[in-house]
Amino acid sequence: MKVDPKLTFGVVLVSLVAGVIQAATYYVDASRPDDSGDGLSWATAKKTIQAAVYLAGDGDTVLVTNGVYDVGAHVVPESVLPNRVAITNTVLVRSVNGPAQTFIVGEGPLGTNAVRCVYITEGTLSGFTLSNGHTRTEWDLARDSLGGGAYALGGTLTNCILTGNSARDGGGAAYGTLYNCTLSGNWAGRYGGGASGATLYDCILFDNRAFLGGGASSSTLYNCTLFSNLADSWGGGAFMGTLHNCTLSRNRASDRGGGAYGGTLYNCTLSGNTAEAGGGAYGGALYNCVLSRNLAASVGGGAFMGTLHNCTLSANSAEGAGGAAYSTLYNCMLLGNLADFWGGGTYGGTLYNCTLSGNAAGIGGGGAYGGTLYNCIVYYNTAQERPNYDRSTLWYSCTTPLPEGDGNISAEPMFVDWVGENYRLAAGSPCINAGINAYALTNMAPYDLDGHPRIIGDRVDMGAHEYPYTGHGVHYAWLQQYRLPIDGSADSLDQDGDGMATWQEYIAGMDPINAVSVFRLSIEGGGSILSWPSVAGRVYAVEYATNLNAGGFRPLAGATNLPATPPRNTFTNVTWIGPMEFYRVTVRLE
């Protein structure tokens, strides 16, 4: 058989290519005398990281052992600032024993003699401490004034410590993506003492300082902790940017936004931050956040000029507006906030479906001073004058004394446990179904503070918490389970034709859209063994009668307050009352 020479050549060529693309590892050891080794073993390791990076191609690894790497430099095109390490391809530069043992050290001060720690556009840097990195200060070469520790147009940093670095913007890091890193003691003359324009996951930022954004500026942060950062102007913890599930505590701004200035925050906690205005947050949009124990020297202990959705503001303080000033709040809880003068809970602004309770002001408006409130509860606040509200406009709200305006009520709101700070509405509260749907703004705030739908039943409730039951006492989640409306319109209907209305099916724990699912008593054992369908969260009782025409049903001894034993309850009647007995089972919610 003849062999096609072209086919044979093709097979050999593929084999050669496969051999070429195998990844290589290059070794770096700061104790080596110089970079003369080939870097292919520890015995012939390079002295500087950059020398090994020069050799590495895409997919290769540069392995760095313990030491201080403070010599060597590389200047990238269109720059004049030297970098200790410049990574511009997809290599992994990794330390052997982590950031506590391996240091990339730049050089200061800021200006013409500065050396940045790391420049990276691709690849990954893992397990290093980056310290004493500095940048130029001239703005004509923008990239040379950014990122004292790391300037990352791409690539990632993982498990790194960035400390004691300085830059015009992004003292610790500018741009790039950081995972599980710590940024501390960095400084920026303008934006982002810790980081500027970066994306950070599971990072810690503390003791950083900048003019704007002591911790971070214009960055996106996930699950990060920012504490004890300082802004000489705005945004002690963060300036602008987007934060998800972050904690901002003990940050300080000399002017505005101790915790955060502007930006968008989701599920964040802001506590113990301080500023002249907006101790917790200044401006921006906050969703499902907690703001507590923040302090403003002038106004807005918790928030100033922000938009807050489903947030809790507690124990914040200021001269004026202990909780929030000139803000728009949806489904928020304000409790225990303090103002030296006016507006313990809020000062000005607009509130929709909020609860203000336990707030205090030294002069007037313990709950609210000024502003407009819709569907709100303002109760049990204190002040020297007008403890609940002062110069405020209220509509469809619960407060005392009864204010002018449509739909207002003055009866006590009937919280579940005001002393225990459970401000949900108890059954029978006058605030249930007492608001006005036009101001519920479900397109802006579709859920209450507990995450329940807003609205349940035919009318919205007052306050931050929607009562989770319809007018017939059916829980909304049970209705949603069967794709039934939660406005109460289906409660009295027999959906499956089994003779039971939807609200009865709910109490019995049956399926309202399945005619086979019926709450029915079965009798066996010659009439002495009774059984019926059983569902958790219910309590049962057996009643009997000997004559349906006289006397009616009476409780059967030993068969009252029977707990559920799913899937069926069984009761044996050992006592016969008469020659003929009739039985029935009652059920109630536990």
What DSSP string describes 509-566? T--TT-TT-----EEEGGGTEEEEE--TTEEEEEEEES-TTTT--EEPTT-SSEEP-T
Select from 540, 377, 384, 405 the least CA-distant residue to 465: 377
Query: Do the bridges between strand 216-217 and strand 209-212 make them parallel or antiparallel, or are there none, so unpaired?
Result: unpaired
Does any domain span residue 493?
Answer: yes
Scanning the structure block, which residue is given the tokens 């069967």?
A: 482
Residue 490's domain spans which residues? 476-508
Please state the φ and ψ torsions of residue 184, each to the nearest 5 degrees: -145, 145
Same domain for 497 and 526, yes or no, is no
Q: For the purposes of burial, counting CB atoms within 10 Å of the CB of 93, is it exposed (0-12), middle (13-18) or buried (19 or more)?
A: buried
Return the SS3 of 475: strand
Helices (H), 26-178: 49-55
Residues 487 and 535 in one domain: no
The answer as to whether 179 is a domain residue is: no
Domain contains 223: no
Look-up: residue for tokens 């004058």? 385
Using an 8 Å Cβ cutoff, are 488 and 472 in contact? yes
Closest to 430 in 3D by CA, of 468, 377, 380: 377
User: Does a structural domain hold residue 225?
Assistant: no
Are 502 and 556 found together in one domain? no
- pLDDT at residue 576 in the model: 64
Q: Give the pLDDT score at 16.
A: 35
Contacts of the segment 468-475: beta carbons below 8 A, 24+ positions apart = 469/427, 470/503, 471/433, 472/502, 472/503, 473/503, 473/506, 473/507, 473/589, 474/502, 474/503, 474/506, 475/506
Point out which residues pair with 531 in neighbouring strands: 522, 570
Same domain, residue pair 500 and 527: no
Query: Using CA atoms, how far apart are residues 72 and 83, in angstroms rounded to an integer?
Result: 8
Q: Is the C-alpha dihedral spanning 467, 469, 475, 480 positive or negative?
A: negative
Mean pLDDT, the chain cut into blocks of 10 residues (590 residues total): 32 38 91 97 98 96 98 93 97 98 96 96 98 87 93 97 98 98 98 98 99 98 99 98 99 98 99 98 98 98 98 98 98 98 98 98 98 98 97 98 97 95 96 95 87 94 96 92 93 94 95 94 83 96 87 88 95 72 91
One domain for residues 526 and 584? yes
Cα 118 to Cα 347: distance, rounded to the nearest angstrom: 48
Instruction: Look up the pTM and report it.
Output: 0.90
One domain, residues 498 and 527: no
Place of tokens 């052992």: 65
486 assigned to some structural domain = yes
Q: Is residue 62 part of a domain?
A: no
Selection from 243, 216, 68, 94 nearest residue 158 by Cα = 94
**68 within a domain of the structure (yes/no):** no
The three-class DSSP label of residue 478 is: helix
Give bridge partners of residue 583 from the DSSP assignment.
544
Same domain, 529 and 582: yes
Q: Number of folded domains in the chain?
A: 2
Reduce the secondary structure of 305-356 to three states and give it as a string. Answer: CCEEECCEEECCEEEECCCEECCEEECCEEECCEECCECCCEECCEEECCEE
CB 439 within 8 A of CB 463: no
Q: Cβ distance 328 to 309 under 8 Å? A: no
In a domain, 124, yes or no: no
Six-digit token string for 543? 């009643």
Contact 413, 430 (CB under 8 A): yes
Give the β-pairing of 166-167 and 187-191.
parallel
Residues in the chain: 590
User: Based on the domain organization, do 538 and 582 belong to the same domain?
Assistant: yes
